[in-house]
Amino acid sequence: MTDSFKLALVTGCSSGLGKALAEQGLDRGYHVVATARRPESITLEHTRLHKRALDLNDPEHIRTLCTQLHEEFGQIDLLINNAGFGLMGPMLEISPQKLAEQFQTNSIAPLELVQSARQSLKRGSTVVNIGSVSASLVTPFAGSYCASKAALHALSDAMRMELAPFGIRVMVVRAGAIRSKFAERAESELTPQQTQGPYQPLQQAIAERASLSQQNASDADDVAKRIFDASEQSRCPAYVGVANGHRRLYSLSKLPSRVTDWLLSRRFKLSTLHGDEL
């Protein structure tokens, strides 16, 4: 380790955007701590790459990793909370346990990481939270995911103001469609009760919502470059929009709710449902 170095900590690096972010950090001269639940799944290799196991559902694991990193490196110049997943399905069919897991991974763990890494964050450090345009535009069959990202945006807004006096910047990425394995995980999380419940006629629409993020998706490498460019600006933006669809969908979220309700109900076939009982 040289006397002068930059360290980036990136979560969820086994594939997709996380892998691309780790690569982008290496290309820009950072030492990169790349994390995943199973670090052996991280295929990148580099002398400045440091693979670490991280279970975002285990607060003690988060604290232990941050303590180890502080002892080993002493600083974190860039913390990118990228890891997350999409829990899809009708709200009536989402179990409280699955909802809690969704919020833990997508909303609470990023905050826990910042809290646990506070000793390593210095004036000039930047926290980047990978949010989503879904935080603004809530769609049928993705309420859990949309809510978790909305919570992440709100927590980030508070952190941005509270950390500013200490010279620590917080940036939210309002992401659109990024090429990744997001849809595979989302489809695997679909609840089996849907096949027998009142939304059974809409199975195709529900499955389509799970895979929607991969339609006309942007290349993860291009998105990672855009995120790093924004994070390294002298005046780091509070929000940066990236990837296909983010502008259109964010604009759609600003329409009156009666308009978006009508459009989205038609898009996801809810207007075809009729009945007096759930």
Angle ∠(179,183,189) on CA atoms, nearest 5: 155
The residue behind tokens 């002068």 is 4
How many CB atoms sit inside 10 A of residue 48's CB? 16
Least Cα distance to 124 among 77, 179, 56, 157 occurs for 77
Amino acid at 209: R
Phi-psi region of 245 (alpha: psi -120 to 50; beta: other; left: phi over 0): left
Amino acid at 144: S
Instruction: Encode 239-253: b = buried (16+ Cβ within 10 Å), e = exposed.
Output: ebbbbbbbeebbebe
Torsion of CA 67, 71, 77, 83, to 10 degrees: -40
Phi-psi region of 141 (alpha: psi -120 to 50; beta: other; left: phi over 0): left
Q: Could you list the active site residues?
A: 145, 149
CB 215 within 8 A of CB 49: no
Beta-ladder partners of 218: 178
Burial group, residue 6, by CB count within 10 angstroms (0-12, 13-18, 19+): middle
Q: What is the full DSSP assignment across 163-187? A: HGGGT-EEEEEEE-BB-SSHHHHHH
The token duo for 86 is: 């999409």
